Structure 1
Amino acid sequence: MRRNRTPGPDDEDRAVSEVLSFVLVFAIIMTSVAVLSMTGFQAMEDYQEGEQLRNGERAMEALADNFNDVMRYDGIDKRHGELSLREGTVTTGDEGTEVTIEVNDETIKDDEDWFDREDESFNLGEFAYHYDDETIAYEGGGLIRESTNGGVVYEEPWFDCRSDTAIISLVEVDADDRSIQSSDGVGFTLSVENRTTETKTPGDADVTVSVENPEYDAWENDDWECDGVERIHVTIVTVDIEY
């Protein structure tokens, strides 16, 4: 014969305790999942941003090397390359960092036999890739990487100090003030507008390349010197960049 047992206070307390335990365990599990999801998504986002910047840096490096052919070879007047922007932005313009070249403490612009131009400095213009708070800029033939934490000269322009010769080559970007943002690849065409090359033999000369009004902090205290040279070879290539 089966007897029915009437639940007592202990049974009710046990049931309440089990429900509370289940609720607490479930809450802990859901909280853990939420925390892991947030940290995981943040880590993934940070990784994607870092990878995008590395890709942008490599792409700009390849593009700069391609563009610099107009300095290396007199017969090349045009170069084309592509950047995958991936929601980044590219800006161009004719105003940027200014560079002054001095020989024995006198700018080469002061001598009409050198470069008969109005300004004493060469304006490097602007061609830069921006993503988040990072910028990778093509400056005079070199590359600059800049962020809110500071900047570095990733690759210097073509300054070469040999035993008896100073070689200076710069690219001036004279492009329209424009910008473009895209998730796709964008083609860029660099065309030579003017190329000037001068070689002088002043004998035992001190040559200095200094940066005036730098567009990026990375240029700070980045002057270049070559002392006691017999020959000075300077090439300035003015280009337009279209896209």
Structure 2
Amino acid sequence: MNGPDRAQSEVIGVVLLLGLTITAVGVTVALGSTALGDVQSSADVQRIEGAMTQVDSKASLVAHGGSTSQRIRLDPGRSADVRVDDEAGVMRIEVEAENETGGIETVTENVTLGAVVYERGDDRVAYQGGGVWRSNGDGSWMVSPPEFHYRGDTLTLPLVTIDGVDGRLGDDAVVTGTSKHPEGLFPSENVSNPLLGGNVTVTVESEYAEAWGRFFETRTRANVTQVSPTEVRVALRTETVHPTLSASVSALGTSRLEFGGINTLYADSYDSTGGSYPGKGNASDNAVLQTTSDFHLTAGGGGKTESIEIRGDLVAESFDTPKGQADKKLTITGEKRVDDSVGSADPVAGAIAERIERVRDQTLQSSGNFTTGFAHDDGTVRTIDEDTYVDGDVTVSDGSTLRIEDGATVHIGGKLNVSENGSDVVFDGSGGDVAVLVEDSFSMRDQSTLRAQGGSNSDLFVDGTVEIRDDAAITAATGTRFELYNTGDVEVTHQARIAADDDVTGNLWLYSSGGSIDFQGAPSDGIDVAGVVYAPTSEMTLTNNMTFKGSFTSGSFTFNDADLNLHYDESLATLQPFGGASVPVVSHLHVSRHRVTIEDD
């Protein structure tokens, strides 16, 4: 190759190299710019999420009366937009309620939610309905939750809605309250608490419906339906059928079943259809102790437990039983089974409220016999044999007897107190079912007795606390079914007895929606129960000595130096609380609208 050709090749090579270098630099700059832009965009969206969370916090503060106004720093940036859209999203709440004629009608409230919306390309972040939501071309999700509280028997929904002039907001905005007081939507003139079985449906129409739906699924045990990409519907369970009583002891709400506070526990089974409890030597091995959570043998390393003997199965989601402790102290003749299918607790507040309302609806103040409160203390027998309203407290003492018979319903406007040895209250169902409603507390002390007899059904409803102290007794005769329903705390002490004759435990039921149930027996020969205790959302404390025949269910158990004898009645395995009837779950509805205005500052 001659000189000019060689020189020309070198020039071409330099040009090509320079071109490749420029191209590479250009591509690198372009890619880097894109990546930098993506990083900047992501940072902006995260920053605006934080700003929207501040909108949530300050709007809530204003909406609930904590402040008259609040300023917010938004700073959306030049390439983004933050605006108020006071027409964005609708929540529709439909409640089936009983009208004055006894029929069912649907009451509907449509609430426009409004929104504060940040937009940058396909990314959107919005404050709507008291929550913060985000969406892009691939879907929507929740950033922070709205105030929606569904606790099984109560729905509380304080809706924060957005007013304001549609349009862009600048770097700063101000939140002010639209009204001094929230607008109550439910209960209303046509819907009162407690709800007794009416259906409740909540529908959200929103760009963020998918995220609303997932939120409902995590916060409720309800049926959630995605109607369309922009509409989701949640049907709250307003009625339920409680399961059969397949276990001696069921803890349905506790985070851990701690057995460290137990000194001794013995569990076996018998079948009352074949006679009363036959004693340990002739008992069966079909006891079941179950919890929806963890079983823990020692609490805080206490190790006070002497022995736990379960002639049957122990069922839990998991077990924490140190090997040394388990080998020495825990005996299980059946299965020690890991099972997470044990259902969590359905509340009973709605079912109890429904039954109490049935008595109130009889309006005995005007339709029945009317008497003032009285103290029956002369040692004689006083009989109520017709529907009666008692305006005040009733006290039975000094060996006196109060008989309620001939199918009478008695509504006591105050307390019912029974005390002193030999004092009795008799529910005699031989002439028809007997029912008593006590609007305040029910107390039994000393060696007083409440006796249900005569066949048929007898019910005692207490809209308050129940105390059964000392050596007091509640008993049900063979062939008579007695049920006690209460809404407050329960306290049973010393050597109290709550027992069906012949240990036929299906004849005596105690239902409670109270927060606390306290059984505190004597150190020896303590409390004796032969029946069903069903309080699936209550906290139950067992102290000292006691014997349970039948089945008892609670949300949680605490044991204090407990010595327990548990005898499961196998005849209960086919029985359901409330007679297997479908009973209300949602009993109280509290929905309100809190308006706020968000404007450019």
Q: TM-score range by the shorter chain?
A: 0.7 to 0.9
Distance verdict in 2 for CA 1:42–1:61, change over 3 Å: same
* Letter of the 1:190 counterpart: T
User: In structure 2, how many angstroms separate the alpha carbons of the residues matched to 1:209 and 1:156?
Assistant: 16
User: In structure 2, how many angstroms separate the alpha carbons of the residues matched to 1:75 and 1:108?
Assistant: 31
Equivalenced residues, count: 220
Residue 240 (structure 1) aligned with residue 593 (structure 2):
no
The counterpart of 2:71, out of the listed 80, 97, 100, is 80
The counterpart of 1:62, out of the listed 54, 69, 73, is 54
TM-score, structure 1 as length reference: 0.79
Cα pair 2:196 2:587 within 8 Å, conserved: yes
**How much has 1:132 moved relative to structure 2?**
2.4
Determine helix, strand or coil for the equivalent of 1:55: helix
Cα pair 1:203 1:231 within 8 Å, conserved: no
User: In structure 1, how many angstroms separate the alpha carbons of the residues matched to 2:114 and 2:25?
Assistant: 50
TM-score, structure 2 as length reference: 0.34
User: In structure 1, how many angstroms separate the alpha carbons of the residues matched to 2:145 and 2:232?
Assistant: 10
Distance verdict in 2 for CA 1:206–1:26, change over 3 Å: same
1:61-95 deviation digits (Å, cap 9, x = unpaired): 22212212245x44544333221111222222431
Cα pair 1:77 1:192 within 8 Å, conserved: no
Quote the residue 2:36 is aligned against. Answer: 44
Determine helix, strand or coil for the equivalent of 2:157: strand
Structure 2 unaligned regions, length at least 5: 98-104, 188-192, 213-229, 238-584
**How much has 1:204 moved relative to structure 2?**
4.1
1:2-24 deviation digits (Å, cap 9, x = unpaired): xxxxxxx6222222222222222
The counterpart of 2:143, out of the listed 154, 157, 160, is 154
Cα pair 1:150 1:217 within 8 Å, conserved: no
Quote the residue 1:6 is aligned against. Answer: none
Cα pair 1:205 1:230 within 8 Å, conserved: no
* RMSD of equivalent CA atoms: 2.4
Cα pair 1:166 1:207 within 8 Å, conserved: no
* Letter of the 1:226 counterpart: L
Distance verdict in 2 for CA 1:107–1:123, change over 3 Å: farther
**Which sits farther off after the overlay, 60-69 or 219-228?**
219-228
1:167-206 paired onto structure 2 within 5 Å: 167-180=156-169, 182=170, 185-193=171-179, 195-197=182-184, 198-199=186-187, 200-206=193-199
The counterpart of 1:208, out of the listed 191, 201, 208, is 201
Quote the residue 1:223 is aligned against. Answer: 233
The counterpart of 1:23, out of the listed 15, 36, 59, is 15
1:150-177 deviation digits (Å, cap 9, x = unpaired): 3224334221110321111211212122
Who wins on radius of gyration, i.e. which is larger? 2
Cα pair 1:170 1:237 within 8 Å, conserved: yes
Q: Greater relative contact order: 1 or 2 (C-alpha under 8 angstroms, separation 6 or more)?
A: 1
1:5-16 paired onto structure 2 within 5 Å: 10-16=2-8
Structure having the higher helix fraction is: 1
**Which sits farther off after the overlay, 216-225 or 154-163?**
216-225
**Which sits farther off after the overlay, 134-143 or 147-156?**
147-156
User: In structure 2, how many angstroms separate the alpha carbons of the residues matched to 1:19 and 1:225?
Assistant: 79
Structure 1 unaligned regions, length at least 5: 1-8, 110-119
Residue 131 (structure 1) aligned with residue 120 (structure 2):
yes
1:103-153 deviation digits (Å, cap 9, x = unpaired): 2386544xxxxxxxxxx4001123212222322111111122122333224
Distance verdict in 2 for CA 1:215–1:17, change over 3 Å: closer
Determine helix, strand or coil for the equivalent of 1:48: helix
Residue 121 (structure 1) aligned with residue 110 (structure 2):
yes
**How much has 1:210 moved relative to structure 2?**
0.8
Identity between Structure 1 and Structure 2 (%):
29
* Letter of the 2:125 counterpart: I
Cα pair 2:51 2:74 within 8 Å, conserved: yes
Residue 144 (structure 1) aligned with residue 133 (structure 2):
yes
Determine helix, strand or coil for the equivalent of 2:54: helix
Determine helix, strand or coil for the equivalent of 1:229: coil
User: In structure 2, how many angstroms separate the alpha carbons of the residues matched to 1:217 and 1:234?
Assistant: 20
Distance verdict in 2 for CA 1:201–1:74, change over 3 Å: farther
* Letter of the 1:191 counterpart: G
User: In structure 1, how many angstroms separate the alpha carbons of the residues matched to 2:32 and 2:96?
Assistant: 59
User: In structure 2, how many angstroms separate the alpha carbons of the residues matched to 1:224 and 1:77?
Assistant: 34
* Letter of the 1:53 counterpart: V
1:184-240 deviation digits (Å, cap 9, x = unpaired): x3232232325123553223444221124x344545454334322111111211221
**Which sits farther off after the overlay, 147-156 or 164-173?**
147-156
User: In structure 1, how many angstroms separate the alpha carbons of the residues matched to 2:67 and 2:195?
Assistant: 30
